[in-house]
Amino acid sequence: MLSIIVPAFNEGSRIYDNLKVIGASVSGFTDEYEIIAVNDGSSDNTGDEIRRAASEDSHIIAAGYDKNRGKGGAIIEGVSLSKGSEVGFIDADLDLSPDQIADYVKVMNEQGADVVIGSKMHKGSKIEYPPARKFISFGYYVMLKVLFGLKCHDTQTGLKIYRGDIIRKIAPAQTVNGYAFDIEMLALASKCGAKLIEMPVVLNYTRNTSFGRIRTGDVFKMFTDTWRIWWNLRIRKSYSL
């Protein structure tokens, strides 16, 4: 079974339609799947719209909670509910088309990968991306290469597939819910010896969602959280896996 987690915060205007789009994409290559839509303490009707979609499609599972936890918290919640042998997540705004999921799963199974992630820096990627975000992404890539030595160029693209047993082992140990959540998950996967493959993405950048608006304070916190992850992983060795 394939589990796809969709974290959603104040996505009431489009989450219903986007869950239908994800379902149509995934059902095109497998009948054994679940879409876990997690309402991350939204203040609008996101929860109601998720439940409406779930009432019409048995593959959609409605989940959520009242107090906002951040994207990482929503994904951790989804992982705890997942049953799939492969577990992925995709941003609710669908800047990244769910049609790409099929290729990611295929590569995972054909090449024996434990983690398959989308990368904006992949030579095959087609992206429309603001120059400022490109600069931040490159600076972050250099920082991560120095701190963690990860064999990937982009940790922040919102489409990833993990082996179910690995992600369910990692997620409970995570301490970060914000923008550094992805690097913590990848660093812990690397600690577990996971084989990682990067894939190209087709990205239509809109970022009108609350998850997508990155402010100066967010960038600062992402960098400080990243250093904290490095300290806990390399110096304190405090992660228990």
pLDDT in tens, the chain (241 residues): 999 999 999 999 999 999 999 999 999 999 999 999 999 999 999 999 999 999 999 999 999 999 999 999 999 999 999 999 999 999 999 989 999 999 999 999 999 999 999 987 677 777 766 665 665 666 667 777 778 877 777 888 889 999 999 999 999 999 998 888 999 999 999 999 999 999 999 877 655 544 445 566 777 788 889 889 999 999 999 998 8
Asked if 20 and 56 count as a contact pair (C-beta separation under 8 A), the reply is: no
Q: Is 234 exposed, middle or buried (0-12, 13-18, 19+ CB in 10 A)?
A: exposed
Q: Round to whole Å and give the CA distance between 37 and 30.
A: 19
Q: Round to whole Å and give the CA distance between 51 and 62.
A: 6
Model pLDDT, residue 146: 74
Distances (CA, A) of 65 to 37, 48, 69, 70: 11, 12, 9, 11
Within 13 Å, how many C-alpha atoms sit on residue 83's CB side?
8
2-235 CATH: 3.90.550.10
- pTM, full prediction: 0.89
Distances (CA, A) of 174 to 154, 171, 183: 20, 5, 10
DSSP-derived 3-state class of residue 58:
coil
What residue segments make up the domains of the chain, in order of their start? 2-235
- Which value, in Å, is the radius of gyration of the alpha carbons in the chain? 17
Q: Round to whole Å and give the CA distance between 192 and 123.
A: 28
Asked if 33 and 59 count as a contact pair (C-beta separation under 8 A), the reply is: yes
Q: Round to whole Å and give the CA distance between 223 and 33.
A: 35
